[in-house]
């Protein structure tokens, strides 16, 4: 029996940003209370005040470089929504929506593969154990679960030699400081070797798939966007003689962009996009999903650990008929309460008492008092640090203890992210992804021999991330085909320049840019007065999930999940905490942005 204690993990590693977790255990080592603290100040809203709304995306996108386009998309959509609310005829060209869908889905697949192998897998995979593996047996294991070409005994023997060299030379590098040998690791050596090999494969794979962003957005990270569409001018018939165009389509004319006017979105670029889609599908189908199911089969008990309480929210995304037709979304919008997937509750974006942010335990202050919740259109960002002077031993958890606010829907804490989306698609028979989602989820539950309740867990959260990677990788082909069909028919429009000039705007506008980022529901709320941003609020996925307790002392999802059936084997090696926190794929960088009062740079770094 252990004595009750408070465990501090600071910082949580293998995430983006700085997160501190404090957990109180009872005498048996079971976590009875947990506290999540974002330890970096948040200020993007302050930076954006007074700026041109058309430029906001370029600032907002720098919120995070990991999910590298999501804040740019949400920011652009916020301005477009403001214009649509004021001028209902305002719309976005279909080609722009298709290109955005392709870019967003590519971000999902890239991000989820990187997370599984490079951030989360090491919670389940013992790297050093791979040295004990038999390469021939590893090959047999790999070939039993997948037809992936790189699965010969020689291939795995070469990988094993690399690992052995790292270990013998004391150069584990990215694999150093792991809890190797911890009894929580249950994979046999051959499964560990297979997973480490695919870890290395994923590093090479991701270099190729980011080309899609560079073609449509000019670069990666932080591809370019524009209010009104995408800046991806389509080059038709590049290097083609008149009349010999793409698929018998349009000849030289007003839309011809060959020669010096050529862009990356030409036949070569579009073929590269097609190749990237095939690469994504191959890796997800032949590597990611088989590895996910193989590893999960050894950790089925985690299907009853890490429950956040059963409330899930999705803003919906991937429209086929524009953002203002929610019925056309691949991912539906809605809320699930108390694990009841038979009922999807609608979201009213404009009701003051529906989506709110609380600061009772966050280092901010509200002009009307810190116990109230504010709708994002009326949100305030006034920093007010009242915590202990660093360095400190413990947080003052009865007071304010985090730089993250506490978002709530109708007063309830909501989990956002892959599990929320998969549950909404599984439950909503009217959404575009329902049939395939149901098939994938049911197959996963049957393969692992776990009940549907296992979805509401650390295991379910991790599985959902892989399943939606397949859903989106498969959907990308349809969007690509639709884009090619439009181009062949002579439609190359990607930008609506109507109402581009702020002089054509009403004096006051407001709008919300919504999207489902890889880590969950993301919303940017903008107020525009006289063509300038008067207020801006970004309510990000890791704020929904990682936020602290609210005025009613309701824990946030991270906190609830850690209070769900976690028994610590060794407080000095808190792998149990890492497994559940990593299952959310935290991105706390969405909480810190600093500039001086005049918007000027604070530091310049020169590399010689």
CA dist 585 and 575 (Å) reads: 15
Tokens representing 117 are 């192998």
Which residues, 6+ apart, have CB-to-CB distance to 607 below 8 Å? none
CA dist 519 and 510 (Å) reads: 25
Q: Compute the 3-state secondary structure of the chain and give helix, strand, coil in percent, each to the nearest 5.
A: 45, 15, 45
What's phi and psi for 485, nearest 5 deg? -65, -40
3-state secondary structure of 303: helix
CA distances from 310 to 76, 225, 541, 565 (A): 32, 36, 17, 15
Tokens representing 216 are 């449509």
DSSP letter, residue 333:
P
End-to-end CA distance of the chain: 56
User: Where would I find the H helices in 37-188?
Assistant: 44-48, 56-60, 70-86, 94-114, 135-145, 153-168
Tokens representing 433 are 């992804």
CA dist 327 and 432 (Å) reads: 9
CA distances from 253 to 243, 258, 523 (A): 10, 11, 41
Concatenating the DSSP letter of every residue in 378-410 gives: G----B---SPPSS-SS--TTS--BSS-EEEET
**Catalytic (active-site) positions:** 16, 64, 67, 71, 519, 542, 587, 590
C-beta of residue 199 within 8 angstroms of C-beta of residue 163: no
3-state secondary structure of 92: coil
C-beta of residue 490 within 8 angstroms of C-beta of residue 250: yes
What's phi and psi for 204, nearest 5 deg? -75, -40
Which residues, 6+ apart, have CB-to-CB distance to 250 below 8 Å? 236, 237, 256, 490, 492
3-state secondary structure of 474: helix
What's phi and psi for 390, nearest 5 deg? -65, 150
């Amino acid at each position: 029996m252990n004595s009750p204690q408070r465990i501090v993990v600071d910082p949580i590693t293998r995430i983006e940003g700085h997160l501190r977790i404090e957990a109180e255990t009872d005498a048996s080592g079971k976590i009875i209370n947990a506290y999540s603290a974002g330890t970096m100040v948040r200020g993007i809203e302050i930076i954006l005040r007074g700026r041109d709304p058309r430029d906001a995306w370029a600032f907002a996108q720098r919120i995070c470089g990991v999910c590298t386009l999501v804040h740019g998309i949400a920011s652009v959509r916020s301005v477009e929504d403001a214009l649509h609310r004021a001028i209902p005829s305002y719309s976005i060209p279909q080609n722009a929506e298709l290109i955005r869908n392709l870019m967003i889905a590519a971000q999902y697949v890239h991000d989820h593969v990187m997370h599984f192998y490079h951030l989360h897998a090491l919670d389940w995979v013992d790297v050093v154990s791979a040295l004990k593996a038999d390469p021939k047996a590893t090959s047999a294991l790999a070939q039993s679960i997948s037809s992936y070409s790189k699965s010969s005994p020689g291939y795995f023997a070469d990988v094993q030699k690399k690992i052995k060299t790292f270990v013998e030379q004391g150069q584990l590098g990215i694999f150093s400081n792991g809890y190797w040998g911890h009894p929580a690791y249950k994979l046999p050596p051959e499964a560990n070797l297979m997973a480490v090999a695919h870890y290395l494969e994923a590093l090479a794979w991701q270099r190729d798939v980011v080309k899609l962003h560079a073609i449509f957005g000019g670069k990666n990270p932080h591809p370019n966007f524009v209010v009104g569409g995408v800046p991806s001018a389509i080059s038709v018939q590049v290097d083609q003689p008149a009349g010999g165009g793409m698929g018998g389509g349009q000849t030289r004319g007003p839309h011809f962009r060959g020669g010096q006017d050529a862009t990356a979105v030409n036949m070569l670029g579009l073929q590269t996009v097609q190749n990237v889609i095939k690469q994504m599908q191959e890796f997800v189908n032949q590597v990611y999903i088989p590895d996910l199911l193989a590893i999960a089969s050894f950790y089925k008990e985690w299907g009853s650990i890490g429950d956040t309480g059963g409330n899930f929210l999705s803003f919906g995304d991937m429209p086929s008929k524009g953002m203002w037709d929610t019925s056309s979304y691949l991912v539906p919008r809605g809320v699930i309460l108390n694990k009841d997937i038979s009922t999807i509750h609608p979201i009213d974006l404009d009701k003051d008492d529906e989506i709110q942010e609380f600061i009772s335990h966050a280092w901010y202050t509200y002009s009307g008092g810190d116990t109230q919740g504010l709708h994002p259109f009326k949100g305030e960002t006034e920093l007010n640090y009242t915590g202990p002077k660093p360095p400190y031993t413990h947080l003052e958890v009865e007071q304010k203890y985090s730089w993250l606010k506490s978002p709530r829907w109708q007063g309830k804490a909501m989990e956002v992210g892959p599990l929320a989306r998969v549950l909404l698609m599984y439950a909503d028979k009217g959404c575009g992804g329902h049939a395939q989602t149901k098939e994938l989820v049911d197959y996963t539950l049957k393969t692992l021999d776990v009940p549907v309740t296992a979805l509401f867990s650390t295991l379910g959260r991790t599985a959902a991330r892989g399943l939606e990677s397949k859903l989106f990788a498969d959907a990308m082909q349809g969007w690509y085909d639709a884009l090619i069909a439009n181009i062949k028919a002579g439609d190359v429009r990607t930008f609506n320049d109507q109402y581009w000039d702020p002089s054509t705007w009403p004096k006051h506008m407001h709008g919300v840019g919504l999207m489902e980022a890889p880590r969950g529901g993301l919303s940017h709320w903008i107020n525009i007065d006289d063509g300038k941003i008067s207020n801006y609020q970004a309510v990000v996925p890791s704020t929904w999930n990682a936020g602290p307790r609210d005025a009613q002392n309701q824990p946030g999802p991270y906190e609830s999940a850690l209070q769900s059936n976690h028994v610590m084997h060794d407080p000095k090696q808190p792998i149990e905490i890492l497994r559940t926190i990593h299952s959310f794929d935290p991105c706390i960088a969405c909480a810190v942005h600093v500039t001086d009062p005049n918007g000027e740079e604070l530091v310049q770094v020169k590399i010689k």
